[in-house]
């Protein structure tokens, strides 16, 4: 199979002691590229620095909704500067998270909107995090629009009706480890409804491991289990499906290299 992990945090402390082993494993497992994602400006600097350690690692720079209340006045200028690097292929992860609500909602909405505008200015795709905030996120996306380069609703956790609404706006649906959880019928139904043509695969490592590794650290090589689960749900061969999913990811991210 030819695989891709469109959302990882390889610069996080969980990988500090065996980063080279992680790379060796995902290269051996046939992963064509990984998008390493920043969660605030300083963290994005680290994400970008790490991405330069392998030609199979790309980078996304942005401010996560948890960090929205802490941004400085010049944060958009700093993201714009980081995005000039050829390794940077998208803006994010940005979005709204009302589940943990670690930043005020108004700050989250403002910072999300500003990063969408930046992504449109740079014509880079955007990685969007939404948790318990689908109505507000959809409203903002409907008003501002996605960049021509598109975007992905990362770690999608809503139902089929929401998935179809975001696809209509031009977004891919990001599918990761939670799909493999036996009781996650809602997400399995989403995959069945939207089809492979609207999906990109991800891990969100070190978080959200597939069912085989629950309670342990996730890593890019484990995206294989996500693809295998999609294959079962859609009744498609692993070879054909993995090629489709890789093409989706290239269309969204690698086209900007």
pLDDT in tens, the chain (257 residues): 899 999 999 999 999 999 989 999 999 999 999 999 999 999 999 999 999 999 999 999 999 999 999 999 999 999 999 999 999 999 999 999 999 999 999 999 999 999 999 999 999 999 999 999 999 999 999 999 999 999 999 999 999 999 999 999 999 999 999 999 999 999 999 999 999 999 999 999 999 999 999 999 999 999 999 999 999 999 999 999 999 999 999 999 975 55
Query: Within 10 Å of residue 42's Cβ, how many Cβ atoms?
Result: 11
Backbone φ, ψ for residue 199 (5° rounding):
-120, 140
Can you tell me which residue has the tokens 């069912």?
A: 211
Q: Which two tokens stand for residue 160?
A: 């089929």
pLDDT for residue 237: 97
The Cα-based distances of 254 to 27, 131, 213 in angstroms read 17, 27, 29
How far from chain centre, in Å, is Cα 152?
6
Please state the domain count of the chain. 1
> Half-sphere exposure (CA, 13 Å, Cβ side) for 51?
26
Q: Cβ-count burial of 56 within 10 angstroms (0-12 exposed, 13-18 middle, 19+ buried)?
A: middle
Q: Which residue range forms the structural domain that includes residue 96?
A: 3-256
Backbone φ, ψ for residue 89 (5° rounding):
-120, 0
Cα–Cα distance for residue pair 196/138, rounded to 1 Å: 22
pLDDT for residue 41: 98
pLDDT for residue 255: 59
CATH code for the domain in which residue 41 is found: 3.20.20.140
């Amino acid at each position: 199979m030819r695989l891709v992990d469109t959302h990882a945090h390889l610069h996080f402390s969980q990988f500090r002691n065996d980063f080279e082993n992680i790379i060796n494993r995902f290269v051996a497992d046939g992963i064509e590229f990984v998008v390493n994602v920043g969660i605030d400006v300083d963290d994005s600097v680290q994400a970008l620095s790490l991405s330069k350690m392998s030609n199979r690692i790309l980078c996304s720079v942005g401010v996560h909704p948890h960090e929205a209340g802490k941004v400085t006045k010049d944060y958009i200028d700093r993201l714009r500067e980081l995005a000039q690097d050829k390794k940077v292929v998208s803006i994010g992860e940005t979005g709204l998270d009302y589940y943990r609500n670690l930043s005020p909602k108004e700050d989250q909405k403002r910072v999300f909107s500003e990063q969408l505008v930046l992504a449109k200015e740079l014509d880079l795709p955007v990685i969007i995090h939404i948790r318990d905030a689908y109505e507000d996120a959809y409203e903002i996306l409907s008003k501002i629009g996605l960049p021509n380069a598109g975007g992905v609703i990362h770690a999608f956790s809503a139902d089929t009706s929401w998935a179809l609404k975001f696809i209509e706006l031009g977004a891919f649906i990001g599918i990761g480890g939670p799909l493999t959880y036996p009781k996650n019928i809602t997400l399995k139904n989403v995959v069945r409804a939207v089809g492979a043509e609207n999906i990109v695969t991800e891990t969100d490592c070190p978080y959200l491991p597939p069912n085989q590794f629950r309670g342990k650290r996730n890593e890019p090589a484990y995206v294989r289990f996500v693809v295998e689960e999609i294959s079962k749900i859609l009744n498609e061969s692993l070879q054909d499906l993995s090629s489709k999913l890789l093409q989706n990811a290239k269309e969204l991210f690698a086209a900007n290299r």
